[in-house]
Amino acid sequence: MFVNTENLKTIIKIRNVEIDDVEALNKVIDEVSRERQYLATTSGFPLENHMQFVQNNLQNDIPQLVSIINDEIIGWCDILPKRPEEFSHVGYLGMGVLKKFRKNGVGSQLLSTCIEEAKAYGFEKIELEVFSDNFPAVKMYEKFGFKKEGLKIKSRKLDGKYQDILLLSLWLKDSNKKCTTVKHRGK
């Protein structure tokens, strides 16, 4: 497909995932996974599982978006409620853009729209994990206000190479007060 990247920002469409997207979306996720660098998986999901996953998200109005150029899916972003119930005020974010379309604002458009969807859904906080050597993604999340919460050292070993995992989060509510610990009065 020929794409004039100069005009990319004006022709990208961001919309909710539809069930008819799943086959194409499945291939996009597989392609990014197979780069073996940025995502936690090195290949995509079985199509049937993916279909069920999207169906369940649709039934529950869970934020899941795709970016489209010339009717082709080129990226995705979803924010899934953590489980069990008492963790579900937190949404877990995953996203990606096909390699040839990166650095043209697609990721930013997906992320800003998905953050708005997450607010509308009622999430209080977004969490994500990103390999610390994934500089483009880390930069992008920082640009959107995500803060570091932790670092898992040498968490993945792939092709003999270790990668650390950064834990990042974004509070969607105005206040971000730390949990208070109840102090018991001693006698």
Ligand X SMILES: CC(C)(COP(=O)(O)OP(=O)(O)OC[C@H]1O[C@@H](n2cnc3c(N)ncnc32)[C@H](O)[C@@H]1OP(=O)(O)O)[C@@H](O)C(=O)NCCC(=O)NCCS
Binding site for ligand X (CB under 6 A): 32, 38-39, 95-97, 102-108, 128, 130, 134-137, 139-140, 143
CB of 143 to ligand X, least distance (A): 5
CB of 10 to ligand X, least distance (A): 14
Terminal Cα-to-Cα distance of the chain (whole angstroms) = 75
Nearest residue relative to ligand X (C-beta): 107
Give SS3 for 79.
Answer: strand
Q: Which of 78, 28, 84, 20 is nearest to 51 (CA)?
A: 20
Comparison of 99 and 154: residue with beta carbon closer to ligand X: 99
CB of 167 to ligand X, least distance (A): 11
Comparison of 54 and 93: residue with beta carbon closer to ligand X: 93
Comparison of 43 and 55: residue with beta carbon closer to ligand X: 43
CB of 115 to ligand X, least distance (A): 13
Q: Which amino acid is at 174?
A: D
Comparison of 16 and 108: residue with beta carbon closer to ligand X: 108
Query: Distance between CA atoms of 80 and 101, rounded to whole angstroms?
Result: 25
What is the radius of gyration, based on Cα positions, of the chain?
18
CB 95 within 8 A of CB 113: no
Going by their DSSP bridges, the two strands 72-81 and 64-69 should be labelled as antiparallel
